[in-house]
Amino acid sequence: MSAPRLLVVDDDPYTRIALNAFFTRGGWQVSLAASVAEAIPLLADSPHCLILDLNLPDGGGEAVLEEARARCSETQVVVCSGVDDPGRLADIGRLTPELMMAKPIDLAAIYKLREAAETFS
């Protein structure tokens, strides 16, 4: 069984570092991006899971989610953001992420995601 692949897209370096360490210890292969421009090419690896912030320095995370849905139909998407605009959140919901979480991150949900690695074999 190969390691499950995770793509973390967040402009906060501490969030990226923490999620990288947490999932790497759980046996995952982790790729990191701080912007839409960095994230889009990393979708070519068809990650099993994508943890996505919506407020990125070069645009909205919606662009990454739309591209993931078009190119990586099996990728499970967790939107994790401080966005509280109901209209924007409704638009995100139409792109069918598997989970939407508000920041700060719910560590229990992240732990469950890491432990679900056997479903990605």
In a domain, 109, yes or no: yes
Look-up: residue for tokens 């793509």?
A: 7
In a domain, 121, yes or no: no
Distance CA 27, CA 4 (A): 8
pTM: 0.90
Per-position DSSP letters for 19-35, written without gaps between them: HHHHHHHTT-EEEEESS
Question: What's 108's domain CATH number?
Answer: 3.40.50.2300
* Total count of domains within the chain: 1
What pLDDT, on a 0 to 100 scale, did the predictor assign at position 45? 92
Q: Which two tokens stand for residue 116?
A: 């679900």
In a domain, 55, yes or no: yes
Tens-digit pLDDT profile for residues 73-102: 899 999 998 888 888 888 888 989 999 988
Highest average pLDDT, of 27-31, 80-84, 113-117, comes from 27-31
DSSP assignment letter at 105:
P
In a domain, 31, yes or no: yes
Instruction: Provide the domain limits for residue 29.
Output: 5-116
